[in-house]
Amino acid sequence: MTNTTNATNTANAGNPANGTDPKPRTVAAYAAPAPKAPLARTTIERRALGAHDILIDVRFAGICHSDIHQVGEEWGDGIFPMVPGHEIAGVVAEVGPGVTRWAVGDRVGVGCFVDSCRECDNCRAGLQQFCTGTPGTVFTYNGVGRDGEPTHGGYSTQLVVDEGYALRIPDALPLDVAAPLLCAGITLYSPLNRWGAGPGRKVAIVGLGGLGHMGVKIAHAKGAEVTVLSQSLRKREDGLKLGADDYRATSDPATFTDLAGTFDLIVNTVSADLDLSAYLGLLRTDGTLVQVGAPEKPVTVNAHALLGGRKSLSGSMIGGLPETQEMLDFCAEHGIGAEIELIRADQINDAYARVLASDVRYRFVIDTSTI
Ligand code: NAP
Ligand code: ZN
Ligand code: ZN
Protein backbone atom coordinates (compact mmCIF):
# COMPACT_ATOMS: atom_id res chain seq x y z
CA MET A 1 0.00 0.00 0.00
CA THR A 2 1.22 3.48 -0.79
CA ASN A 3 2.26 5.44 2.25
CA THR A 4 -0.06 8.40 2.37
CA THR A 5 1.04 9.91 5.67
CA ASN A 6 -0.05 13.54 6.03
CA ALA A 7 -2.21 13.22 2.97
CA THR A 8 -4.92 15.34 4.44
CA ASN A 9 -2.54 18.23 5.12
CA THR A 10 -2.76 19.01 1.45
CA ALA A 11 -6.56 18.89 1.26
CA ASN A 12 -8.06 21.47 -1.09
CA ALA A 13 -4.96 21.40 -3.28
CA GLY A 14 -6.98 20.43 -6.34
CA ASN A 15 -5.32 19.11 -9.42
CA PRO A 16 -4.39 21.79 -11.94
CA ALA A 17 -2.68 19.15 -14.06
CA ASN A 18 -5.95 17.48 -15.02
CA GLY A 19 -8.35 20.31 -14.33
CA THR A 20 -9.68 18.96 -11.02
CA ASP A 21 -11.96 21.46 -9.39
CA PRO A 22 -10.50 22.17 -5.92
CA LYS A 23 -13.87 23.11 -4.47
CA PRO A 24 -16.10 20.84 -2.40
CA ARG A 25 -18.89 19.30 -4.44
CA THR A 26 -22.54 18.75 -3.72
CA VAL A 27 -23.73 15.20 -4.39
CA ALA A 28 -27.05 13.40 -4.14
CA ALA A 29 -27.54 10.97 -1.27
CA TYR A 30 -30.08 9.13 0.86
CA ALA A 31 -29.97 10.04 4.53
CA ALA A 32 -31.80 9.41 7.77
CA PRO A 33 -32.52 12.97 8.99
CA ALA A 34 -32.93 11.85 12.61
CA PRO A 35 -32.58 8.67 14.69
CA LYS A 36 -34.97 5.93 13.53
CA ALA A 37 -36.41 8.22 10.83
CA PRO A 38 -37.06 6.87 7.33
CA LEU A 39 -34.31 7.64 4.83
CA ALA A 40 -35.02 10.33 2.25
CA ARG A 41 -33.24 11.89 -0.70
CA THR A 42 -31.00 14.81 0.11
CA THR A 43 -27.71 16.38 -0.92
CA ILE A 44 -24.40 16.38 0.93
CA GLU A 45 -21.02 18.05 0.48
CA ARG A 46 -17.98 15.99 -0.44
CA ARG A 47 -14.65 17.59 0.41
CA ALA A 48 -12.47 19.15 -2.27
CA LEU A 49 -10.07 16.61 -3.71
CA GLY A 50 -6.82 16.63 -1.72
CA ALA A 51 -3.45 15.67 -3.20
CA HIS A 52 -3.86 12.02 -2.23
CA ASP A 53 -7.62 11.80 -2.60
CA ILE A 54 -9.62 10.06 -5.28
CA LEU A 55 -13.17 10.84 -6.36
CA ILE A 56 -15.24 7.70 -6.82
CA ASP A 57 -18.42 7.45 -8.86
CA VAL A 58 -20.34 5.12 -6.57
CA ARG A 59 -22.19 2.52 -8.64
CA PHE A 60 -23.54 0.16 -5.98
CA ALA A 61 -23.94 0.22 -2.20
CA GLY A 62 -24.92 -2.78 -0.09
CA ILE A 63 -27.31 -2.53 2.85
CA CYS A 64 -25.67 -4.01 5.94
CA HIS A 65 -27.63 -4.70 9.10
CA SER A 66 -25.12 -2.38 10.81
CA ASP A 67 -26.67 0.48 8.81
CA ILE A 68 -30.00 -0.29 10.47
CA HIS A 69 -28.46 -0.58 13.95
CA GLN A 70 -26.80 2.82 13.54
CA VAL A 71 -29.78 4.66 12.05
CA GLY A 72 -31.69 3.31 15.06
CA GLU A 73 -28.94 4.45 17.49
CA GLU A 74 -28.81 0.90 18.85
CA TRP A 75 -25.05 1.22 19.42
CA GLY A 76 -25.18 4.66 21.01
CA ASP A 77 -25.58 8.22 19.76
CA GLY A 78 -25.39 8.73 16.02
CA ILE A 79 -24.50 11.75 13.90
CA PHE A 80 -27.47 13.04 11.86
CA PRO A 81 -28.32 13.48 9.09
CA MET A 82 -26.73 10.07 8.53
CA VAL A 83 -25.87 8.72 5.07
CA PRO A 84 -25.20 5.02 5.72
CA GLY A 85 -23.37 2.60 3.47
CA HIS A 86 -20.02 0.87 3.90
CA GLU A 87 -20.25 -1.71 1.14
CA ILE A 88 -19.27 0.53 -1.73
CA ALA A 89 -18.27 -0.38 -5.27
CA GLY A 90 -17.54 2.14 -7.98
CA VAL A 91 -15.14 3.60 -10.48
CA VAL A 92 -12.43 6.23 -10.02
CA ALA A 93 -13.62 9.47 -11.62
CA GLU A 94 -10.79 11.88 -10.67
CA VAL A 95 -7.46 11.67 -8.88
CA GLY A 96 -5.54 14.23 -6.82
CA PRO A 97 -2.08 15.30 -8.05
CA GLY A 98 -0.21 13.11 -5.56
CA VAL A 99 -2.15 9.90 -6.26
CA THR A 100 0.06 7.02 -7.36
CA ARG A 101 -2.13 3.95 -6.83
CA TRP A 102 -5.12 4.73 -8.99
CA ALA A 103 -6.08 6.04 -12.40
CA VAL A 104 -9.39 7.30 -13.73
CA GLY A 105 -11.55 4.30 -14.67
CA ASP A 106 -10.14 1.89 -12.06
CA ARG A 107 -12.71 -0.32 -10.31
CA VAL A 108 -12.54 0.27 -6.58
CA GLY A 109 -14.28 -0.58 -3.35
CA VAL A 110 -14.52 1.17 0.00
CA GLY A 111 -15.45 -0.69 3.15
CA CYS A 112 -16.14 0.28 6.74
CA PHE A 113 -13.38 2.83 7.32
CA VAL A 114 -11.81 5.66 5.33
CA ASP A 115 -8.84 6.71 7.48
CA SER A 116 -6.74 5.81 10.51
CA CYS A 117 -3.53 7.10 12.12
CA ARG A 118 -1.24 4.93 9.91
CA GLU A 119 1.42 4.86 12.67
CA CYS A 120 0.16 2.81 15.64
CA ASP A 121 1.08 -0.85 16.03
CA ASN A 122 -2.27 -1.98 14.65
CA CYS A 123 -2.09 0.27 11.59
CA ARG A 124 1.47 -0.91 10.91
CA ALA A 125 0.26 -4.50 11.19
CA GLY A 126 -2.48 -3.82 8.65
CA LEU A 127 -5.22 -3.86 11.30
CA GLN A 128 -6.53 -0.37 10.61
CA GLN A 129 -9.93 -1.37 12.00
CA PHE A 130 -8.33 -1.42 15.46
CA CYS A 131 -6.35 1.86 15.18
CA THR A 132 -5.30 3.16 18.60
CA GLY A 133 -3.77 6.45 17.42
CA THR A 134 -5.26 9.76 16.34
CA PRO A 135 -7.75 10.09 14.67
CA GLY A 136 -8.38 6.39 15.33
CA THR A 137 -10.34 4.30 12.88
CA VAL A 138 -12.46 6.80 10.94
CA PHE A 139 -15.61 4.96 9.99
CA THR A 140 -17.04 5.49 6.52
CA TYR A 141 -20.19 7.07 7.96
CA ASN A 142 -21.36 8.07 11.42
CA GLY A 143 -17.73 9.03 12.08
CA VAL A 144 -15.67 12.21 12.13
CA GLY A 145 -12.79 12.73 9.70
CA ARG A 146 -9.47 14.48 10.32
CA ASP A 147 -11.09 17.68 9.06
CA GLY A 148 -13.58 17.53 11.92
CA GLU A 149 -16.47 16.95 9.51
CA PRO A 150 -18.92 14.03 9.81
CA THR A 151 -18.30 11.22 7.36
CA HIS A 152 -21.00 10.11 4.94
CA GLY A 153 -21.29 6.66 3.40
CA GLY A 154 -22.12 4.94 0.17
CA TYR A 155 -25.83 5.68 -0.25
CA SER A 156 -24.67 8.54 -2.45
CA THR A 157 -23.54 9.15 -6.01
CA GLN A 158 -19.94 10.15 -5.32
CA LEU A 159 -17.38 9.72 -2.57
CA VAL A 160 -13.98 11.31 -1.88
CA VAL A 161 -11.51 9.07 -0.13
CA ASP A 162 -7.80 8.90 0.54
CA GLU A 163 -6.21 6.64 -2.08
CA GLY A 164 -4.79 4.30 0.56
CA TYR A 165 -8.24 3.38 1.87
CA ALA A 166 -9.71 2.12 -1.40
CA LEU A 167 -9.41 -1.51 -2.53
CA ARG A 168 -9.02 -2.92 -6.00
CA ILE A 169 -12.04 -4.87 -7.26
CA PRO A 170 -10.70 -7.52 -9.64
CA ASP A 171 -12.16 -7.51 -13.18
CA ALA A 172 -13.62 -10.98 -12.63
CA LEU A 173 -16.07 -9.60 -10.05
CA PRO A 174 -19.11 -7.62 -11.28
CA LEU A 175 -19.40 -4.45 -9.18
CA ASP A 176 -22.93 -5.12 -7.91
CA VAL A 177 -22.12 -8.51 -6.36
CA ALA A 178 -18.71 -7.24 -5.20
CA ALA A 179 -20.12 -4.38 -3.11
CA PRO A 180 -21.23 -6.58 -0.17
CA LEU A 181 -17.79 -8.16 0.01
CA LEU A 182 -16.46 -4.88 1.44
CA CYS A 183 -18.19 -5.58 4.76
CA ALA A 184 -20.06 -8.90 4.78
CA GLY A 185 -17.29 -10.64 2.82
CA ILE A 186 -14.36 -9.50 4.91
CA THR A 187 -16.23 -9.88 8.21
CA LEU A 188 -16.52 -13.62 7.54
CA TYR A 189 -13.28 -14.12 5.63
CA SER A 190 -11.19 -12.77 8.49
CA PRO A 191 -12.33 -15.17 11.27
CA LEU A 192 -12.49 -18.10 8.84
CA ASN A 193 -8.86 -17.37 8.04
CA ARG A 194 -7.71 -16.75 11.56
CA TRP A 195 -9.37 -19.83 13.06
CA GLY A 196 -8.29 -22.05 10.18
CA ALA A 197 -11.42 -23.00 8.24
CA GLY A 198 -10.13 -25.54 5.72
CA PRO A 199 -10.03 -29.21 4.79
CA GLY A 200 -10.79 -31.50 7.72
CA ARG A 201 -12.39 -28.73 9.78
CA LYS A 202 -16.06 -28.53 10.68
CA VAL A 203 -17.47 -25.03 10.64
CA ALA A 204 -20.95 -23.81 11.59
CA ILE A 205 -22.38 -20.50 10.45
CA VAL A 206 -25.22 -19.19 12.63
CA GLY A 207 -27.76 -17.06 10.71
CA LEU A 208 -28.16 -17.14 6.94
CA GLY A 209 -28.38 -13.43 6.19
CA GLY A 210 -25.96 -11.08 4.46
CA LEU A 211 -22.94 -12.07 6.54
CA GLY A 212 -23.95 -15.70 6.96
CA HIS A 213 -24.33 -16.47 3.27
CA MET A 214 -20.87 -15.05 2.57
CA GLY A 215 -19.55 -17.24 5.39
CA VAL A 216 -21.03 -20.35 3.77
CA LYS A 217 -19.52 -19.53 0.38
CA ILE A 218 -16.08 -18.64 1.72
CA ALA A 219 -15.81 -21.52 4.22
CA HIS A 220 -16.87 -23.95 1.47
CA ALA A 221 -14.29 -22.49 -0.95
CA LYS A 222 -11.64 -22.92 1.75
CA GLY A 223 -12.49 -26.60 1.89
CA ALA A 224 -14.17 -26.78 5.29
CA GLU A 225 -17.25 -28.89 6.02
CA VAL A 226 -19.99 -26.31 6.53
CA THR A 227 -23.24 -26.46 8.49
CA VAL A 228 -25.79 -23.65 8.59
CA LEU A 229 -27.65 -23.10 11.86
CA SER A 230 -30.74 -21.09 10.96
CA GLN A 231 -33.93 -20.32 12.84
CA SER A 232 -35.92 -22.59 10.50
CA LEU A 233 -35.44 -24.83 7.46
CA ARG A 234 -37.08 -22.18 5.21
CA LYS A 235 -33.81 -21.38 3.40
CA ARG A 236 -32.36 -24.91 3.46
CA GLU A 237 -32.30 -25.39 -0.30
CA ASP A 238 -30.50 -22.08 -0.78
CA GLY A 239 -27.99 -22.91 1.95
CA LEU A 240 -27.07 -26.21 0.32
CA LYS A 241 -26.70 -24.49 -3.07
CA LEU A 242 -24.41 -21.89 -1.52
CA GLY A 243 -22.09 -24.70 -0.42
CA ALA A 244 -23.36 -25.95 2.95
CA ASP A 245 -23.00 -29.66 3.64
CA ASP A 246 -25.71 -29.64 6.31
CA TYR A 247 -28.48 -27.26 7.37
CA ARG A 248 -30.23 -27.38 10.74
CA ALA A 249 -32.98 -25.42 12.45
CA THR A 250 -32.11 -23.91 15.81
CA SER A 251 -35.83 -23.89 16.66
CA ASP A 252 -35.60 -27.70 16.83
CA PRO A 253 -34.12 -28.76 20.20
CA ALA A 254 -32.83 -31.97 18.57
CA THR A 255 -30.27 -29.87 16.66
CA PHE A 256 -28.45 -29.16 19.91
CA THR A 257 -28.34 -32.81 20.98
CA ASP A 258 -27.58 -34.29 17.53
CA LEU A 259 -24.69 -31.91 16.87
CA ALA A 260 -23.25 -31.70 20.40
CA GLY A 261 -19.42 -31.65 20.34
CA THR A 262 -19.24 -31.42 16.54
CA PHE A 263 -17.63 -28.17 15.41
CA ASP A 264 -14.10 -26.79 15.44
CA LEU A 265 -15.41 -23.31 14.74
CA ILE A 266 -18.77 -21.58 14.98
CA VAL A 267 -19.25 -18.07 13.60
CA ASN A 268 -22.33 -16.31 14.98
CA THR A 269 -23.66 -13.67 12.58
CA VAL A 270 -27.00 -13.15 14.29
CA SER A 271 -28.08 -9.53 14.73
CA ALA A 272 -30.11 -10.31 17.87
CA ASP A 273 -28.92 -11.44 21.31
CA LEU A 274 -28.69 -15.23 21.58
CA ASP A 275 -28.00 -17.49 24.53
CA LEU A 276 -24.55 -18.57 23.41
CA SER A 277 -24.28 -21.36 25.99
CA ALA A 278 -26.32 -23.71 23.84
CA TYR A 279 -24.07 -23.01 20.85
CA LEU A 280 -20.89 -23.56 22.89
CA GLY A 281 -22.22 -27.07 23.51
CA LEU A 282 -21.86 -27.74 19.79
CA LEU A 283 -18.08 -27.19 19.88
CA ARG A 284 -15.47 -29.89 20.14
CA THR A 285 -12.77 -29.69 22.79
CA ASP A 286 -10.72 -26.53 22.19
CA GLY A 287 -13.29 -25.26 19.71
CA THR A 288 -13.99 -21.56 19.26
CA LEU A 289 -17.19 -19.59 18.90
CA VAL A 290 -16.55 -16.28 17.17
CA GLN A 291 -19.13 -13.54 17.64
CA VAL A 292 -19.49 -11.19 14.69
CA GLY A 293 -23.15 -10.19 15.08
CA ALA A 294 -23.42 -6.90 16.97
CA PRO A 295 -26.81 -6.82 18.72
CA GLU A 296 -28.06 -3.94 20.82
CA LYS A 297 -28.45 -6.09 23.93
CA PRO A 298 -25.62 -8.01 25.65
CA VAL A 299 -25.16 -11.63 24.65
CA THR A 300 -25.26 -14.00 27.59
CA VAL A 301 -23.15 -17.03 28.31
CA ASN A 302 -23.08 -19.54 31.15
CA ALA A 303 -19.46 -19.84 32.36
CA HIS A 304 -19.85 -23.61 32.67
CA ALA A 305 -20.44 -23.82 28.93
CA LEU A 306 -16.84 -22.63 28.46
CA LEU A 307 -15.15 -24.76 31.11
CA GLY A 308 -15.83 -28.30 29.95
CA GLY A 309 -13.96 -28.83 26.70
CA ARG A 310 -11.78 -25.71 27.20
CA LYS A 311 -13.92 -23.71 24.78
CA SER A 312 -13.10 -20.22 23.55
CA LEU A 313 -15.45 -17.34 22.95
CA SER A 314 -14.01 -14.64 20.72
CA GLY A 315 -15.03 -11.72 18.56
CA SER A 316 -13.96 -10.33 15.22
CA MET A 317 -14.57 -7.00 13.50
CA ILE A 318 -14.33 -6.58 9.72
CA GLY A 319 -10.68 -6.77 8.57
CA GLY A 320 -7.73 -4.51 7.76
CA LEU A 321 -6.81 -3.22 4.32
CA PRO A 322 -4.36 -5.99 3.31
CA GLU A 323 -6.73 -8.77 4.36
CA THR A 324 -9.64 -7.07 2.62
CA GLN A 325 -7.66 -6.98 -0.62
CA GLU A 326 -6.68 -10.62 -0.09
CA MET A 327 -10.38 -11.47 0.37
CA LEU A 328 -11.36 -9.68 -2.86
CA ASP A 329 -8.67 -11.55 -4.78
CA PHE A 330 -9.73 -14.86 -3.18
CA CYS A 331 -13.37 -14.23 -4.12
CA ALA A 332 -12.40 -13.35 -7.69
CA GLU A 333 -10.30 -16.50 -7.97
CA HIS A 334 -13.16 -18.66 -6.66
CA GLY A 335 -15.96 -16.87 -8.51
CA ILE A 336 -17.56 -15.70 -5.27
CA GLY A 337 -19.89 -12.72 -5.20
CA ALA A 338 -22.82 -11.95 -2.95
CA GLU A 339 -26.34 -13.16 -3.77
CA ILE A 340 -28.09 -9.85 -4.18
CA GLU A 341 -31.44 -8.22 -4.71
CA LEU A 342 -30.78 -4.99 -6.60
CA ILE A 343 -33.06 -2.16 -5.49
CA ARG A 344 -33.79 1.46 -6.33
CA ALA A 345 -32.96 4.10 -3.77
CA ASP A 346 -36.66 4.73 -3.09
CA GLN A 347 -36.93 1.11 -1.87
CA ILE A 348 -34.35 1.52 0.92
CA ASN A 349 -36.91 1.85 3.73
CA ASP A 350 -38.79 -1.24 2.54
CA ALA A 351 -35.49 -3.12 2.36
CA TYR A 352 -34.71 -2.15 5.97
CA ALA A 353 -38.07 -3.59 7.06
CA ARG A 354 -37.39 -6.80 5.15
CA VAL A 355 -33.90 -7.18 6.68
CA LEU A 356 -35.46 -6.80 10.13
CA ALA A 357 -37.93 -9.56 9.25
CA SER A 358 -35.04 -11.86 8.14
CA ASP A 359 -36.55 -11.62 4.66
CA VAL A 360 -33.40 -11.01 2.66
CA ARG A 361 -31.85 -13.28 0.04
CA TYR A 362 -29.17 -12.40 0.76
CA ARG A 363 -28.11 -8.77 0.45
CA PHE A 364 -29.98 -5.72 -0.76
CA VAL A 365 -27.79 -3.62 -3.01
CA ILE A 366 -28.74 -0.09 -4.03
CA ASP A 367 -28.28 0.90 -7.68
CA THR A 368 -26.96 4.37 -6.90
CA SER A 369 -27.91 5.67 -10.36
CA THR A 370 -31.47 5.76 -8.96
CA ILE A 371 -30.57 8.26 -6.22
P1 NAP B 1 -28.87 -9.93 8.34
O2 NAP B 1 -28.72 -9.98 6.87
O3 NAP B 1 -30.11 -9.36 8.93
O4 NAP B 1 -28.64 -11.42 8.88
C5 NAP B 1 -28.79 -11.77 10.23
C6 NAP B 1 -29.40 -13.16 10.31
O7 NAP B 1 -29.50 -13.49 11.68
C8 NAP B 1 -30.81 -13.27 9.78
O9 NAP B 1 -30.86 -13.47 8.40
C10 NAP B 1 -31.34 -14.46 10.54
O11 NAP B 1 -30.87 -15.65 9.91
C12 NAP B 1 -30.63 -14.35 11.88
N13 NAP B 1 -31.50 -13.74 12.89
C14 NAP B 1 -32.07 -12.51 12.86
N15 NAP B 1 -32.79 -12.29 13.97
C16 NAP B 1 -32.68 -13.41 14.72
C17 NAP B 1 -33.20 -13.79 15.98
N18 NAP B 1 -33.99 -12.98 16.69
N19 NAP B 1 -32.84 -15.01 16.45
C20 NAP B 1 -32.07 -15.83 15.75
N21 NAP B 1 -31.55 -15.52 14.54
C22 NAP B 1 -31.86 -14.32 14.04
O23 NAP B 1 -27.69 -9.09 9.01
P24 NAP B 1 -26.16 -8.96 8.54
O25 NAP B 1 -26.01 -7.76 7.70
O26 NAP B 1 -25.68 -10.26 8.09
O27 NAP B 1 -25.48 -8.57 9.94
C28 NAP B 1 -25.56 -9.48 11.04
C29 NAP B 1 -25.01 -8.83 12.30
O30 NAP B 1 -23.60 -8.66 12.15
C31 NAP B 1 -25.56 -7.45 12.62
O32 NAP B 1 -25.69 -7.33 14.01
C33 NAP B 1 -24.48 -6.51 12.10
O34 NAP B 1 -24.47 -5.26 12.73
C35 NAP B 1 -23.26 -7.31 12.46
N36 NAP B 1 -22.05 -6.97 11.70
C37 NAP B 1 -20.87 -7.12 12.34
C38 NAP B 1 -19.69 -6.89 11.67
C39 NAP B 1 -18.38 -7.10 12.36
O40 NAP B 1 -17.39 -6.60 11.86
N41 NAP B 1 -18.33 -7.85 13.44
C42 NAP B 1 -19.72 -6.49 10.34
C43 NAP B 1 -20.94 -6.37 9.70
C44 NAP B 1 -22.12 -6.62 10.40
P45 NAP B 1 -31.81 -16.96 9.81
O46 NAP B 1 -33.07 -16.49 9.14
O47 NAP B 1 -31.00 -17.87 8.98
O48 NAP B 1 -32.03 -17.47 11.19
ZN1 ZN C 1 -21.44 -3.83 7.56
ZN1 ZN D 1 -3.47 3.57 13.89
Which has the closest alpha carbon to 7: 132, 109, 100? 100
pTM of this structure: 0.94
Q: How many angstroms separate the alpha carbon of residue 36 from the centre of ligand 2?
A: 18
Query: What average pLDDT does this structure show over 56-70?
Result: 98
Ligand closest to Cα of 74 equals 1
Which has the closest alpha carbon to 199: 167, 222, 168, 227? 222
Please list the residues that pair with 336 across neighbouring strands.
none
d(CA 133, CA 154): 25
Q: Which residue has the higher pLDDT, 367 or 9?
A: 367
Locate the ligand 1 atom nearest the alpha carbon of residue 295 and give its number. 32
33-47 confidence digits (pLDDT tens): 999 999 999 999 999
The top-level CATH class assigned to 185-315 is: alpha beta
Ligand closest to Cα of 72 equals 1
Name which residue sits closest to atom 7 of ligand 1, judged by CA. 270
Ligand closest to Cα of 112 equals 2
Q: How many angstroms separate the alpha carbon of residue 213 from the centre of ligand 1?
A: 10
Query: What average pLDDT does this structure show over 168-185?
Result: 98
Provide the pLDDT for residue 187.
98
- Mutation test residue for ligand 1: of 193, 271, 318, 362, the one with most atoms within 8 Å of CB: 271
Name which residue sits closest to atom 27 of ligand 1, judged by CA. 65
Does pLDDT of 87 surpass 80?
yes
Ligand closest to Cα of 70 equals 1
126-148 confidence digits (pLDDT tens): 999 999 999 999 999 999 999 99
Does pLDDT of 358 surpass 70?
yes
Please list the residues that pair with 164 across neighbouring strands.
none
Query: Which architecture does CATH list for 4-183+319-370?
Result: Alpha-Beta Complex (3.90)
Locate the ligand 1 atom nearest the alpha carbon of residue 315 and give its number. 41
Question: If pLDDT is split at 50, 70 and 90, which confidence band does 15 have?
Answer: very low
Provide the pLDDT for residue 95.
98
189-243 confidence digits (pLDDT tens): 999 999 999 999 999 999 999 999 999 999 999 999 999 999 999 999 999 999 9
Q: How many angstroms separate the alpha carbon of residue 214 from the centre of ligand 1?
A: 12
Name which residue sits closest to atom 31 of ligand 1, judged by CA. 271
Q: How many angstroms separate the alpha carbon of residue 54 from the centre of ligand 2?
A: 22
- Mutation test residue for ligand 1: of 65, 88, 361, the one with most atoms within 8 Å of CB: 65
Q: Which residues line ligand 1 at a C-beta cut-off of 6 Å?
A: 64-66, 69, 183, 187, 207-212, 230-231, 235, 269-272, 292-295, 316-318, 355, 358, 360
Locate the ligand 1 atom nearest the alpha carbon of residue 360 and give its number. 2
- Domain positions in the chain are 4-183+319-370, 185-315
Locate the ligand 1 atom nearest the alpha carbon of residue 355 and give its number. 3
Provide the pLDDT for residue 8.
35
Ligand closest to Cα of 87 equals 2
Locate the ligand 1 atom nearest the alpha carbon of residue 356 and give its number. 3
Locate the ligand 1 atom nearest the alpha carbon of residue 184 and give its number. 43
Q: How many angstroms separate the alpha carbon of residue 165 from the centre of ligand 3?
A: 13
Provide the pLDDT for residue 21.
56
Whether 4-183+319-370 and 185-315 share one fold: the answer is no
- Mean pLDDT taken over the chain: 94
Q: Write out the chain in H/E/C secondary structure.
A: CCCCCCHHHHCCCCEHHHCECCCCEEEEEEEECCCCCCCEEEEEEECCCCCCEEEEEEEEEECCHHHHHHHCCCCCCCCCCECCCCCEEEEEEEECCCCCCCCCCCEEEECCEEECCCCCHHHHCCCHHHCCCCCCCEECCCCECCCCCECCCCCECEEEEEHHHCEECCCCCCHHHHHHHHCHHHHHHHHHHHCCCCCCCEEEEECCCHHHHHHHHHHHHCCCEEEEEECCCCCHHHHHHHCCCEEEECCCCHHHHHCCCCEEEEEECCCCCCEHHHHHCCEEEEEEEEECCCCCCCCECCHHHHHCCCCEEEECCCCCHHHHHHHHHHHHHCCCCCCEEEECHHHHHHHHHHHHCCCCCCEEEEEHHHC
347-357 confidence digits (pLDDT tens): 999 999 999 99
297-352 confidence digits (pLDDT tens): 998 899 999 999 999 999 999 999 999 999 999 999 999 999 999 999 999 999 99
